[in-house]
Structure 1
Amino acid sequence: MRLIDLTLPPDDPRGRYPGDPPVQASPLHTLEQHGWRLHAVSLGSHAGTHVNAPWHMAPEGDRLEELSLDRLCGWAVVRGAGPVAPGLGLIYADFPLEGAELEAVLEARPPFVAQAVEFPLDLEAERALCLAGIVSFENLDRTALLPRGVRFWFMGLASALAPDGFPVRAAAVLEPWDHGFAQVNTNESIR
C-alpha cells in the first residue's frame, strides 16, 4: 500500500481565508517540568486542509458530528475531461470547480468533492455543494502526485469539534494489488 499525504498544515498561509483567525499553538506543559508535553491550540475551523460539512452554508444541512465516517472517505478520481463518473468522489487538482462543471457535479451527486490548494473553492460552488448535501474538502496539497484517470481511496478524517467543518489529515491510498491501477470507465460504476 502506498499513501500520499495531501494535508496542508493548518498554519500554512496558502490555506488561510482572509479574515480567518491565525493558528496558534502555545506550550502549557513541558517534558522537563511536567513529564509530558501539552499545547493550547487556537485556530479557525477551516484552517489548512479541512472538511466543509453541509451545515457550513445550508440552514438544514448535516453538521460535522452527524456525518458518518463513510461520507469522509471513499473511492475517488482526479477530475478530468468527460462525464462525471458515478459513485466516485471528485478531486479537483488541475482546474477549479465552477460554471457548467458545477452543474454537472450537482446533477451527479458525488459522495464528496475535494479541491487542490491551487484552485480555491469559490463561495458560489461551496454554497451549492452545501445546499446539495455534498461534503467538500478544501486546500489539498501535493495533488500533482495523484494518479490521473484511475481510482484510488481518499480519506479526510476530522474531529467533530466544530459543527461547520474542521481541519483533516487527508490521504490518498494507492492499491498495490491493481498493478498500475484500475482504469476508470466514466460510463459505469466501479465496484
Structure 2
Amino acid sequence: MVDLTRRVESGMPTYPGDPAVSVEPHATHERDGYRVSEIRLGTHTGTHVDAPAHVDPAGATLDAFDLEDLRFVACVVDCRGTGTGAAIGPDALPERSALDELDALVFDTGWADKWGTDRMLEHPFLAIETARLCAERNVAVATDALSPDPSDHETDLPAHRALCGAGLPIVENVCTLDALPGDVFELLVCPLRVDADAAPARVVARV
C-alpha cells in the first residue's frame, strides 16, 4: 500500500483564496484528561477529491459517490518533461486500446516537488482536448499539481468542466508518485463522507 496523501497541518499550502488550515488543541490531557483537536479547513485542502458540484450547480456532491465509484484501475502518465505552465496534450495519454482498460489516470507533472514553494502555481495542466478525451472514455483524473487547470492565471476551468460534466471525480495534490509501478495498479480514494463540492481524502495505491 503506497500512501499518496498530503499531511493535513496548520499553515499548510492552499489554493489561492481558499481557507487557511489550522489544527489546534480544543481539549488537552493536562487540562481536561483527554485530547480533542479543532480542525478548520476548506473542502479543497491538501490531497482532496472534487465532485461535479464543484463547477456544476446541478452536479452530484461527494456523498453521492459509492465506494466502488472511487476505486479505480489506474496507471501513471509521466508528464515531467512538460514545460512550466504548459498544456499536457492528448499525445501524452496511453493508446486508446490501453485507455479502455483503465478507470483513472494519475498525471505525474513533477510539481509535487514544488509544493509550498513560489513555483507551486506554475504547474503544467491538461489541454482541453486531453480532458475531453478522458471524459469521453469515462476515465477519472488525478494530478500531483494543484489543479488539472492553470492556477497562475484566470481560467474558466475547462478541464474541470469537461471531467465533472461527465460525472467524474478529480483528485488533486497527490504525492509520492515515484513509488508507483510503471504498469497498472489499484487506486483507492477515500474522502470524507459529506454533502459538499469536495473533501480531503486518503488516497492509496495498492501495488
Equivalents in 2 of 1:126, 1:146: separation in Å?
25
- Aligned counterpart, 1:152: 185
Structure 2 CA distance, aligned partners of 1:34 and 1:27?
11
Paired with 1:99 and 1:158, the residues of 2 have a C-alpha distance of 26
Contact 2:132 2:162 in 1 (8 A): no
**Aligned residue identity for 1:154:** L
Distance 2:63 2:94 in 1: 34
Partner of 1:116: 144
1:39-118 aligned within 5 A: 39-79=37-77, 81-84=93-96, 85-86=99-100, 87-94=102-109, 96-110=125-139, 112-117=140-145
Distance 1:30 1:101 in 2: 50
CA distance in 2, matches of 1:32, 1:141: 36
Q: Where in structure 1 are there 5+ consecutive unaligned residues?
A: 175-191
SS at match of 1:140: coil
* Aligned-partner residue type, residue 153 of structure 1: E
In structure 2, the residue matched to 1:165 is: 198
Once the two structures are TM-superposed, the CA of residue 81 in structure 1 deviates from its matched residue by: 4.2
What TM-score, normalized to structure 1?
0.80
- Partners of 2:35 and 2:169 in 1: CA distance: 34
Equivalent AA in structure 1 for residue 177 of structure 2: T
Aligned equivalent of 1:130, options 164, 186, 203? 164
Query: Is 1:92–1:115's contact at 8 Å kept on the other side of the alignment?
Result: yes
CA contact (8 A) 1:8 1:48 kept: yes
Q: 4+ residue runs of structure 1 moved beyond 4 angstroms?
A: none
Query: Secondary structure in 2 aligned to 1:91?
Result: strand
> Which amino acid in structure 2 is aligned with residue 145 of structure 1?
A
TM-score scaled by length of structure 2: 0.74
Instruction: For structure 2, list consecutive stretches of 5 or more residues without a partner in the other structure.
Output: 78-91, 110-123, 150-156
Q: Deviations over 1:50-103 (max 9, x none)?
A: 000111111221111111111122211113543241242111114642233222
Percent identity of the aligned residues? 33
- Residue of structure 2 equivalent to 1:139: 173
> Take 2:40 and 2:197, find their aligned partners in 1: how far apart are those partners?
16
**Is the Cα–Cα contact under 8 Å of residues 48 and 172 in structure 2 kept in the other structure?**
yes
Counterpart Cα distance in 2 of 1:127 and 1:81: 19
Are the counterparts in 2 of residues 45 and 162 from structure 1 also a CA contact under 8 Å? no
Does 2:27 align with 1:29? Answer: yes
Aligned-residue Cα RMSD (Å) equals 1.8
> Hey, what's the Cα distance between the residues in 2 that align with 1:139 and 1:90?
14
Report the number of matched residues: 167
